[in-house]
Structure 1
Amino acid sequence: MLSNESINLFEEISSVHGVAGNERLVSEMLRKYYEELSDDIIYDNLGSIYAVKKSKNVNAKRVMVSGHMDEIGFIINKFYDNGLIGALMLGNIPKNSLLGASVEAFNEKRHVFPGTILSIREDETVLDEKNNLIIDLGFMDKNQSETNLQIGDTISFSSEFIRTSSGTIMCRNINGRYAPVIGIELLRALDNIELPFDLYVGCTVQEQVGLRGIQTATNKVSPDLAIILESNKSFDYQLNSEDKIGILGGGLLLTYYAKTVLPNRLLISELKKLCDNNEIKYQYYYSLEDSEAGWVNKLRTGCPSLFINIPVRNFNTPKSVISEEDFGSAREALIKFIEQLDNNKIELFKSENR
C-alpha cells in the first residue's frame, strides 16, 4: 500500500486539467515541486518540462526519465443555437465509454463548467465519422455559451479520485498522471544523493495527439540513456482475452517488445536482475501500441531506452484503475535503478548492439 503522502500527491496531480495542447496547469504544478528538488528546470518550445539534477563531474553523461503529462479530452469547435457545445475528440478514447460521461470545460480564465456528453444521433451514437460529438454544459442558448467559452477551449473528463479498500486507485487520467507522480517520487528519494551523471526528470506534452512533445524534448535533453514511464492496457479481465497480460497486482511491466521500439536487451536484463535481488514484483509484457520510447530510441544518433511501466484497466476512459502495489513496485525499481547506475554501465548499454 502507498503512503498517505503518495496518495495525496496522486490525488492532487490527477485533479489538474491538462488536455493535450493545454497542459499549462500541470506544468505549473510540476514546476512547484521541481523547484524544491532540482538544480535547474528546462523547457522545450512546446511546453515539455524537466527538472535537472546536476552532477559535479565535468562533461557528465545525461540520463532522461520521462513520460507524458497530457490527457485525453476534447476541444470545442462549435456553438449551437440551443446552448449545446460541439467538440472534437483528442486522443484515442473508447467510444463505448463516452455517452453520459461527466466532463468539465475549462476557459482561459480558468473557470470550470461541468457537463455531460450527449448522443449525436437518435440511435445513441456519440461520435460522427470525424470524431465530433455534442456536450451539454448547462447553457440554454448560444449567447450564454459564447460568453463563457470560445472555440479552442478544452474539455476533460470530470475529476473523481477513489482509493479502494483493496488497494486500487480509480481516477480519470492515470495514463497522463503516472509519469508526473512517479517522477516527483524519484526526485524526493534522490534529494540528498550525488549522482555521477546529470539526471533529467520530467514530462512531455501532446503525447495523446501524436507523440509530439517527446520529439522536441529528446532533442533538447540529448540523453545518453532514457527511462520511459508509461502505463499500458491491462488484459487480465476481458472474457475474450486469450493472453492474460498486464495483471493488476502482478507488479511492474517488464516490456520486452513494443510496436515502435525493441527495448535494449541488456537494460531489460539489468532491470530483471535488480527486481529479483530486491524482491520487487514484475511481469513480462508486450505492447502493440505506439510509444514515446520509439522516438527517444531513434532520434539523433540513437539512445538505449528502458520502460518502467504499470498496467491499467479501463485505459483512456472516464475512470481508469491501477494497483497501488504495481505503482509501488515501479517506483522502487526506478529509484534503485538510478541509484546503482554509473557511467560505465551507461556505456555498456550504449554499446550493447555493436
Structure 2
Amino acid sequence: MSINTKLLAKICKTPGAPGFEQKVRELVIKEITPLVDEVEVDNMGNVYAIKKGSAKDPKRVMIGAHMDEIGFIVTHIDDKGFIRFHTLGGFDPKTLTAQRVLIHGKKDVIGVMASKPIHVMTPEERNKVAKISDYYIDTGLSKKEVEKLVQIGDPITREREFIEMGNCVNSKSLDNRLAVFILIETLKKLKGKKVPYDIYGVFTVQEEVGIRGANAASLKVNPDFGFGLDTTIAFDLPGAAEHEKITRLGEGTAIKVMDAGTICDYRMVEFMKNTAKKHKIKWQPEILPQGGTDTAGIQRMTQGGSIAGAVSIPTRHLHQVIEMANKDDIAGSINLLTSCLTDIDTHDWSFK
C-alpha cells in the first residue's frame, strides 16, 4: 500500500519537544482545517479537530495522537560555550553517542552530543554504563557566541533525515509523528462522509513526560469512547525470544490489549478485532509490559471513564534516531481507525 511519505517526512522533520510543540501545532492546524467542522486549541496547546456526528443524540469519540517528540532542554552554558541539558522524555544514554542535535534558540543552532573520548578513558571508565550526565553539547562556538543565540530553557531536538528503506520508513520521531500523520490521513478519508458520533481528533502535547496533554483534553471532551494512537515496540530482531517481540513489522497494525498504563476495555478490543476482520485489515495483538500512551488519560480522565482502546503502529528501535515502521502497517492503521470511527455505532457495547 502507498502512503504520503512526503507529508510524513515533513511532520517528522518539524521540531516539537515536550512543551514546545508550536511548530508541529502550526503544521497540524494547516492540514486539518479544511477537513473538519471545527478546530480548537486549548490553554495547554492541544489541538482539537472536531467532526460532527449524524446521530440524533451523538456520543463523543476521542482519538489522541501526541505531537511531541523526546528531546532536551538547555540547563547550563559553561565558560567554554559547552551546553549542559536535561532530558524531556525517556532516553537510553548510549543512543546519544555521536548524534547531532538542534538547539532552538533565537535561531536554530546545530550541535553534537559529545563525551570523554575513549582514547583517554581509564579501563574502568571504558567498561561502565554511560549516563546522561556524561554528555554535553558542542556547537563549535565560544560562550559569547552561544549566548547571543541560546539561553537557559531553550528546547533541543535530535537531527536526522527521513529516509525510505525497502518497504519501510526510517527517521527520528516516528514516535509519535506516525500517529499525527495517521490521524490527519484518517480525517482526510472521512471528509465528506457521515460519521455516527462526534469525533474529537486531538493532537496532544507533553505525552513523553507523562500524558499531560491527553489528561487535560479528556477532561474537556469527556468522551464516551476513546482511541489512543501511538507507536509500539517491534522487537522482531536477532536475539529476541518469541515472547519478547511484542509486535512484528509487516504483520499488520496492532490492536492494544494492554500496556503498563491501561488495560483496554474488552468490548473495545472485541469491536476493533471484528472491524479489522470485516474490512479485511491485517492486524496483530499488542501487550506491552512497560510503557504507556495517551490511552490511559483518555480512558480515565473523564466522568465515569470511557470505553477505550488503541491503534498501535509496530516500530523498531523506539526512542532512537533510527525508528523504523512498515508502510503497509501504517496504511493498515489508517484503515482500521477510519473503519472504527464509521462503524462504532453498530457494536453492542453492553456488558456481557
Tell me if TM exceeds 0.5: yes
Q: Extract unaligned runs of 5+ from structure 1.
A: none
| Aligned positions, number | 341
Calculate percent identity across the aligned residue pairs: 28
Would you say the 8 A contact 2:72–2:86 is kept in 1?
Answer: yes
* Corresponding position of 1:198: 198
User: Given the alignment of the two structures, is residue 114 of structure 1 paired with residue 107 of structure 2, yes or no?
Assistant: no
Distance 2:272 2:213 in 1: 26
Deviation at 1:202, TM superposition (A): 2.2
* Corresponding position of 1:326: 329
* Corresponding position of 1:66: 64
* Corresponding position of 2:351: 352
Distance 1:35 1:291 in 2: 26
The CA deviation string for residues 253-307 of structure 1, in whole angstroms up to 9 with x for no partner, is 1222222221111211121122223221111220122222122212221001111
Distance 1:352 1:283 in 2: 24
Structure 1, 17-26 or 281-290: larger mean CA deviation: 281-290
User: Given the alignment of the two structures, is residue 295 of structure 1 paired with residue 297 of structure 2, yes or no?
Assistant: yes
* Corresponding position of 2:40: 42
Tell me: CA distance 1:326–1:99, structure 2 relative to 1, closer, same or farther (3 Å): same
* Corresponding position of 1:25: 23
Deviation at 1:56, TM superposition (A): 4.9
Would you say the 8 A contact 2:311–2:337 is kept in 1?
Answer: yes
The CA deviation string for residues 241-264 of structure 1, in whole angstroms up to 9 with x for no partner, is 341331010111122222222111
Would you say the 8 A contact 1:45–1:216 is kept in 2?
Answer: no
Q: Pairwise mapping of residues 95-110 of structure 1 onto structure 2 (< 5 A)?
A: 95-107=93-105, 109=106
* Corresponding position of 1:258: 259
* Corresponding position of 2:153: 152
Residue from 298, 306, 315 that aligns with 1:312: 315
Tell me: CA distance 1:247–1:58, structure 2 relative to 1, closer, same or farther (3 Å): same
Would you say the 8 A contact 1:89–1:133 is kept in 2?
Answer: no
Distance 1:56 1:273 in 2: 23
The SS at the match of 2:334 is helix
* Corresponding position of 1:225: 225
* Corresponding position of 1:80: 78
* Corresponding position of 1:89: 87
The CA deviation string for residues 82-113 of structure 1, in whole angstroms up to 9 with x for no partner, is 11111111111121211111111112x4x221
Would you say the 8 A contact 1:106–1:155 is kept in 2?
Answer: yes
Q: Which amino acid in 2 is paired with 1:323?
A: N
Distance 2:320 2:241 in 1: 19
* Corresponding position of 1:214: 214
Tell me: CA distance 1:57–1:284, structure 2 relative to 1, closer, same or farther (3 Å): closer
Q: Which amino acid in 1 is paired with 2:144?
A: N
* Corresponding position of 1:182: 182
Deviation at 1:119, TM superposition (A): 1.2
* Corresponding position of 1:245: 246
Deviation at 1:53, TM superposition (A): 0.8
Would you say the 8 A contact 1:89–1:132 is kept in 2?
Answer: no
Q: Which amino acid in 2 is paired with 1:235?
A: F
Q: Which amino acid in 2 is paired with 1:127?
A: K
Tell me: CA distance 1:242–1:92, structure 2 relative to 1, closer, same or farther (3 Å): same
Tell me: CA distance 1:59–1:155, structure 2 relative to 1, closer, same or farther (3 Å): same
Deviation at 1:55, TM superposition (A): 2.8
Distance 2:182 2:242 in 1: 31
The CA deviation string for residues 58-85 of structure 1, in whole angstroms up to 9 with x for no partner, is 5421111112110001100000111111
* Corresponding position of 2:131: 127
Distance 2:162 2:332 in 1: 21
TM-score (norm 2): 0.92
Deviation at 1:114, TM superposition (A): 1.4
The CA deviation string for residues 96-143 of structure 1, in whole angstroms up to 9 with x for no partner, is 211111111112x4x221121011684477535xx573011221x211
The SS at the match of 1:177 is helix
Would you say the 8 A contact 1:171–1:321 is kept in 2?
Answer: yes
* Corresponding position of 2:271: 270
Distance 1:261 1:255 in 2: 9
Q: Extract unaligned runs of 5+ from structure 2.
A: none
Would you say the 8 A contact 1:19–1:71 is kept in 2?
Answer: yes
Would you say the 8 A contact 2:202–2:217 is kept in 1?
Answer: no
Distance 1:126 1:133 in 2: 9
The SS at the match of 1:229 is strand
